A and B are shown apart, each in its own frame.
Chain A
């Protein structure tokens, strides 16, 4: 607030709202009256046949400004007095109009400004923003009775609660940002695991309620990411913590609120690459006109999200070149390499206290991927391809079931999705095709079709039907899936 006096906002607005029209009315009426009186007054001295030089056409006599009498015209003292009075009134009117225009132009500017909705610069007080997304829906699998994976894909219609994700976005310093994303879930209530399909209830008595007898479902919070970022330079940002691995499109877009389809590619759901890292990432972006180049480089614990058992780390990177014009395109390449080790920590003795580190699983892992994205008006196209390999050290193969050890394996997957946003109804039909080459079963091909309905930018209905077809000899694993979701961003 400057030192000079300012009207209170409401008072100024009220005064202007009431005063300006009134003042304009007075001025207009005065001016019009003068203009109307002028010809009559002049008519007494100036012959009507003599037009006033420079005056507008006769069709607009009332609006025509009165001009000085032509040289040589004879005016009576009364007319001269009237003319002087008119000139004075005109000058007063012009001055009032000028001041009104100034006031009107500056009314918004001089009004007492309300506080900013969001402070443009971080203040001393740390700020926190909360937002997120959630989805609920319906799903049904269709498969044959002898499908050995019926336990995973039971052919029953079911309502589903998908993601309920909350972001906690803080800025404790102008150059520092903290971001935690958590997912609220019903798990582990009747959750299936890789080694057991016998889900168990986590319902417990709410012993703190008034009756103590009602049941509540005890459930967990999934940590999606928790990171601290230093953003002082656009070309060199640093991120530490637990973050989404910068790999491809799917893992970065992360949510069906952003992704075209809710259907997960096999390489993502089976984690052909580690989708998260605990470690450090540097990144940057450099624009070159409408082109831009973005890079990410990271080092982390690899698949071991907790404390690492060895000094071996996983490294990776991603580079994206893009054009952001009438057409938006981005071409990306990602890669990673590292050694994963999983250890047991047996206690050898309690007196004296002795422990050991026994690495029971250890393998090298590397992979890469390419991706392409195109946005042109209502058209969206995404393509992504991933290949990854695991090579186990002798005697340290993963035992995924008693007596069953994992072989070295190469897995790959690719998908392409083409969507078009129709100009009405928020409708966006799309087609998807995916090819997956795994080891545990024959390769599969997954055509899919879907429809997104954008009720608003933050609310969508997403429908998808997929046909999952396996190559020989695993045709009995074939199934189809219908999935409908209501997705909201808040």
Chain B
């Protein structure tokens, strides 16, 4: 194998790379309600606390109850909006963050719920549960501790 052959391989690889683009369409971000179990009176919805929970750096509530954060699937508008506002990470950065974490052998990411209905149901049934759903989809079965709107976290 000579240099020319390796050069062809390299140029081909770079060509593939340059064809990769980000085709994300600009769409309004959804407004989200951050919810916990109604019995969780000590939960605070400030951004720092949420970030620590959803980065699984903090795994317990102040009461000692196990925190059970629930994420929506990557690629959903709600997940992207939440990651940007709370973690300060773009979708790609968020994916990268969790890849790095697992390869380092760190604590696993939050559990993944397939849709807001599952988040709502699970949080309503789990004393340590915390998740986020589109605003307006909540009821008395959960407690809203924060609202994510326009990239900002507003504590309730």
Give chain A's interface residues, CB within 8 Å of chain B: 105-106, 108-111, 113-114, 116-121, 129, 131, 133, 138, 157, 167, 169, 174, 179, 181, 225, 231, 233-234, 244, 252-255, 257-258, 285, 287, 289-290, 292, 324-326, 425-427, 453, 455-458, 461, 484, 486, 489
Contact = CB atoms under 8 A, between A and B. Distances in A.
Interface in B90-142: 92, 95-96, 99-100, 102-105, 107-108, 110-118, 120-122, 126, 129, 136-137, 139
A120 B129 contact: yes
B154 interface: no
Given A174-B66, A425-B20, A455-B17, A116 B102 contact: no
A455 B20 contact: yes
A133 B52 CA distance: 27
Contacts of A457: 92, 95-96, 99
Nearest to B138: A109
A81 B66 CA distance: 65
Interface residues of B, number: 51
B69 to A, nearest CB: 8
A484 B10 contact: yes
13 contacts: A105-B136, A108-B115, A114-B118, A117-B111, A120-B70, A120-B110, A121-B66, A253-B100, A285-B57, A456-B20, A457-B99, A458-B99, A461-B13
Contact of A133 (B51, B103, B114): B103
Given A169-B108, A233-B60, A255 B118 contact: no
A167 B102 contact: yes
B58 interface: yes
A426 B99 contact: no
A290 B59 CA distance: 16
A174 B117 CA distance: 24
A113 B117 CA distance: 6
Given A111-B117, A157-B1, A234-B57, A254 B111 contact: no
Contacts of A486: 13
A332 B101 CA distance: 18
Interface string B51-63: 1100001111000
